[in-house]
Amino acid sequence: MGKIIALANQKGGVGKTTTTINLAASLATLEKTVLVIDADPQANASSGLGVDIKEVDCSLYECIIDHADIKDAIYTTDIEGLDIVPSHIDLVGAEIEMLKINGREKVMSDLLASVRDDYDYILIDCSPSLGLITVNALTAADSVIIPVQCEYFALEGISKLLNTIKIIKSKLNPKLEIEGFLLTMYDSRLRLARQIYDEVKRHFQELVFKAVIQRNVKLSESPSHGLPVILYDADSTGAKNHLCLAKEIIEKNKESR
């Protein structure tokens, strides 16, 4: 049975989508089967994996609102073993439309049940909010990765997210765990970045991934080519960082199974 991991942080610009795309590609490179669920209306994970949004007939929106079969919404990518359920701008309005659905917090969980056995990992890229779609993602997930940007306001808002996780754990999804805190946009030349790293490590100890995602030009360039960085430049720091993260997650889950 595949493991479902949500990538969440209601703070924007922390590297959620970049991590989702490149972690998924790295896991697939390490011969794992991976499905990305793009649960962000901006659909950046979809375009970052080479999906032309204008050509998409069936997206996550149709699955949630029109009860389309999720298998009809799965698109392949340039990496063998890596598939994606793309997003659509209509997902913005889905939260309001979902208010009339019974068990609205568990729609995504029910959707993923039918494809869970087909993949080793299912990664959900959440939008930068704690709205109903993100609640759905956290209710469907086994664990959550929290990307933390190495900058001054990094820890601001994390308590709010941790509180949401706690509520979801107690009311909707008792099995939800924190997979880890991931430090992103790390620049070892800056004293501030090192201070943030130390502070996050002090707070969350063994929950902080050893892998750190450094600031990297190739990592920033690759989405505009519709490619994960491992296909764009396999020797880049960004590609190596994400491979380390993928190996760490595989290793961690080997121990826990």
257 pLDDT higher than 60: no
Q: What count of Cα atoms within 13 Å lies in the side-chain half-sphere of residue 157?
A: 16
Closest by Cα among 141, 101, 179 to 2: 141
Choose between 128 and 86: higher pLDDT: 86
Whether the per-residue pLDDT at 191 is higher than 60: the answer is: yes
Decide: helix, strand or coil at residue 202. helix
CA distances, 213 to each of 31, 42, 189, 232, 248 (Å): 22, 23, 14, 17, 13
List pLDDT tens digits, range 193-250: 777 778 788 888 889 999 999 888 888 888 888 888 888 888 888 899 999 999 999 9
Q: d(Cα 58, Cα 14) in Å, to the nearest integer? A: 28
Name the CATH architecture for the domain at 1-253: 3-Layer(aba) Sandwich (3.40)
Look at residue 108 and give its three-state secondary structure: helix
Strand order in the sheet with 121-126: 75-76, 82-85, 34-39, 121-126, 3-7, 143-149, 177-184
The rounded distance, in Å, linking the Cα atoms of 60 and 111 is: 10
The pair of structure tokens assigned to 68 is 């389309």
